[in-house]
Amino acid sequence: MTAIGIHDIAIATGHHVLELDDLAERLGVDPAKYHVGIGQDAFSVPAPDEDIVTMGAAAAKEIIDRHGVEGIRTVLFATESGVDQSKAAGVFVHGLLGLPQSVRVVELKQACYGGTAAVQLALGIVARAPHERVLVIAADVARYDVDTAAEPTQGAGAAAVLVTADPDLIEIEPAAGVFTADVDDFWRPNDRSTALVDGRLSVTAYVDAFVGAWDDLVAQGGPGYEDIVRWVHHQPFTKMAIKAHRKLAQHVGQPFDDAELALGFTYNKQTGNTYTASIWIALAALLDLDDELDGQRIAMFSYGSGSVGELLTGIVRPGYRAHRREGRVRSLLEARVPLTVDAYRELHAAGAATSEDTERPRVTTAPYRFAGVRGGARRYEPTTQD
């Protein structure tokens, strides 16, 4: 049977960064609470001319530059922070990238889980038509109200994932563990640009979904715990993954050391929560930084509040190291422009989506920018007009 899975992953993030040390100082909080207690160091903040479309397009551009458009007939855009109630964000990306018209584009939503649903749909499309390739884009701006417990767990970023037959990076295995429970741990009513969250409930809901998805994976004939050499998790904050993994290890009666998850935390500790993109950014970190994965089985746990969890496994393709982009994400993170707490809060206050006509200042150096709203419609353009 032809292997189907992830051929390439590209990451994008916001133009700015807020160091959590600065937020801790402003709020009179011990910085160790952020670095150790929740396991985060900083979060990305979009410039006024950035949003999920510009970040998603930047990540997708890298994929198209490397692999071309041949065989791409489907673009799936997953997000919690959509910019329009009707038009899929992927249609803006389709236009910016000049993709062919013979492409279907749609947007998916289920909090942070949507990107994994998109990858599952992509696997199904490629299984039926192995000559096709599916471009999955997951992009989000995680926004909570300022002066709430959730404020340090915001973030921004995007991942573009190319799903193909005979992939360079990971063959996804057919068995998956899934779990759904109707829980009010995190939600965002239509009249709000910031999420409402019951932080403590979100921890127990995530842990329940992880253990439940594991049990379902076992019931579906998936691999044993001892056959999985590495794990990556959706990371609203990296400590969440540790808490959940400790519970699973207890559940299956296996030893677990927190350090086992450390490489997959490397980028998310810097971007903050990127909702749908978080698990793919974690996977990119693992593939970039772990040299021992040839032919090894890894597990990927996705969680979207509300709640849906899914546990996938895959076999890393021998030779994956020749296809990774070492240093690319690190240089993106290092290029971010630091903000003071006042400047971040000013951007936060202005960050809600609007249908009123506006012009956005030129700030971002990413390939595409949000120019503003004209005639009620959002306008995007390349950052450099040549």
**Closer CB to ligand CAA, 222 or 272, in the complex:** 272
> Contacting ligand CAA (CB under 6 A), which of 270, 305, 313, 364?
305
30 is in an annotated binding site: yes
Q: Which residues pair with 6 in a beta bridge?
A: 163, 170
- Contact region for ligand CAA (CB under 6 A) — 49-57, 68-76, 144-152, 280-288? 144-152
Identify how many contiguous H helices and E strands the chain contains and give both numbers. Answer: 12, 18
Query: b/e for 43-67, b at 16 or more Cβ within 10 A?
Result: bbbbbbbbbbbbbbbbbbbbbbeeb
CA distance 302 to 232: 9
The pairing of strands 72-78 and 133-142 is parallel
144 is in an annotated binding site: yes
Q: Does 259 bind ligand CAA (CB under 6 A)?
A: no
CA distance 284 to 268: 10
Q: Does 149 bind ligand CAA (CB under 6 A)?
A: yes
- Contact region for ligand CAA (CB under 6 A) — 88-96, 123-131, 300-308, 378-386? 300-308
The answer to whether the peptide bond before residue 355 is cis (omega within 30 degrees of 0) is no
**How many residues sit close enough to ligand CAA to count as binding (CB under 6 A)?**
26
236-255 residues in contact with ligand CAA (CB under 6 A) are: 236-237
Nearest-5° angle of CA 3, CA 4, CA 7? Answer: 110
Q: Does 204 bind ligand CAA (CB under 6 A)?
A: no
Helix (H) or strand (E) holding 16: strand 16-19
Cβ atoms 164, 125 nearer than 8 A: no
- Contact region for ligand CAA (CB under 6 A) — 35-43, 57-65, 351-359, 362-370? 35-43
Query: Which residues, other chains included, contact 266 with Cβ-Cβ below 8 Å and sequence gap of 6+?
Result: 285, 289
> Contacting ligand CAA (CB under 6 A), which of 6, 9, 17, 38?
38
Q: Does 186 bind ligand CAA (CB under 6 A)?
A: yes
Closest to 8 measured CA to CA, from 62, 86, 53: 62
243 is in an annotated binding site: yes
82-111 residues in contact with ligand CAA (CB under 6 A) are: 111
Active site residues: 80, 112, 234
Q: Does 153 bind ligand CAA (CB under 6 A)?
A: yes
CA distance 107 to 137: 9
- Contact region for ligand CAA (CB under 6 A) — 32-40, 167-175, 325-333, 352-360? 32-40
Select the residue whose beta carbon is closest to ligand CAA and give its number. 37
Q: Specify the amino acid at residue 282.
A: A
> Contacting ligand CAA (CB under 6 A), which of 5, 272, 304, 309?
304
CA distance 110 to 115: 9
> Contacting ligand CAA (CB under 6 A), which of 130, 199, 223, 351?
199
Residues that bind ligand CAA (CB under 6 A): 30, 32-33, 36-38, 80, 111-112, 149-150, 152-153, 186, 197, 199-200, 202, 206, 236-237, 273, 275, 303-305
Give the residue numbers of the binding site for (3S)-3-hydroxy-3-methylglutaryl-CoA: 30, 144, 243, 273
